[in-house]
Amino acid sequence: MTSFTNREVDAGGLRTHIAEQGVGELVLLLHGFPETSYSWRHQFDELAGAGYRVVAPDLRGFGRTERPADVGRYTMLELVGDVVALIDALGERQAVVVGHDMGAVLAWYTALLRPDRVRAVGGIGVLPWPAAAPSPLTVFRQMFGDGFYHLYFQQPGVADAELAHDPTRTLRQMLYSGSADGPRAPLVVPPGGGFLDTGTDPEVLPPWLTEADVAAYVADFAVTGFTGGLNWYRNLDRNQELLKPWRGATITPPSLYVGGELDPVVDFARAADLRDQPGGMLPNLRSIVKIPHCGHWTQQERPAEVNAALIEFLKSL
């Protein structure tokens, strides 16, 4: 039974909601989209019991954390600044930073930009995009066409309204469709359609997701809506411009990559390339962990396997 507590902290002027448990070395857990700190509910007891101080924030624009109105306040520089400010607010000098989905992107870039503040880094599902690499949106358009969901998310107000129309359906469908239990469908919006046309609303939820879980997410997104999370996607190209000074830089802290074998986002081959090839972006990638029969919502679908991988990595530091 999880026994984490909730409170608010001032992280560099951003009112930030956090869930926390345990004492010891600080481990920050960064969620993705559409998630909140609740996505780490299965990790608190295990990591705290292993001797760590576990903190999971609602990230900028999500849940009970502030949601700036200006889309330009969601660049990667702002978001990395939030992580550093949170470490300061918690009275620490360094943290192990672990992220999932878009939270993994943030974890990787925090380690890239501020290795002095990152003891080690873990990414679940998503690998880092090299700083100043070609535009992600251009690459996605070439690979998947104009209907790819990252591109659909760009137009202000469109996906925002669609996802907010029925939050219960939105969250049930997105969590189910991205899991190992859902259909294997490309995330390409059909002409004239919406994002939810790419997935399935299940009649019965899979065993790892309860109606109470969905209700918890609905309550979180009722506070700030979906726009804050969508604004992360609306800065993908801007981030590449801002990160030009880090062109060719590597992520030097010890690192871990974890993914579900049925997660369409996961790329184990590229993870090995980023570690083993000369000039690879992850020269200190210590382990690549593949979790069988697992989809995109890795730490929720297979918490025991994720917890074991995290604890083994933490104990190795």
Other C-beta atoms lying within 10 Å of the C-beta of residue 275 = 18
Q: What is the dihedral of CA 224, 227, 232, 237, to 10 degrees?
A: -160
Query: What is the residue-wise DSSP string for 15-84?
Result: EEEEEEE--SEEEEEE--TT--GGGGTTTHHHHHHTTEEEEEEPPTTSTTS---S-GGGGSHHHHHHHHH
- Please report how many Cα atoms fall inside a 13 Å half-sphere around the Cα of residue 72, on the Cβ side: 2
Alpha helices in the chain (DSSP H): 44-49, 76-89, 102-113, 136-144, 149-152, 158-165, 167-177, 211-224, 227-233, 236-242, 268-276, 298-301, 303-316
Residues recognised as catalytic: 101, 296
In order, the DSSP letters of 285-303 are EEEEEEETT--S-HHHHSH
Distance CA 189, CA 192 (A): 8
Q: Name the residue among 48, 34, 33 with its Cα closest to residue 19.
A: 48
Under a CB-based contact definition with an 8 Å cutoff, are residues 66 and 15 in contact? yes
List 15's β-bridge partners, or say none. 10
SS3 97: strand
Within a 13 Å sphere around the CA of 210, how many CA atoms are in the beta-carbon half? 5
Give the integer Cα–Cα distance in Å for 317 and 312: 9
Tokens of 105: 């992107």
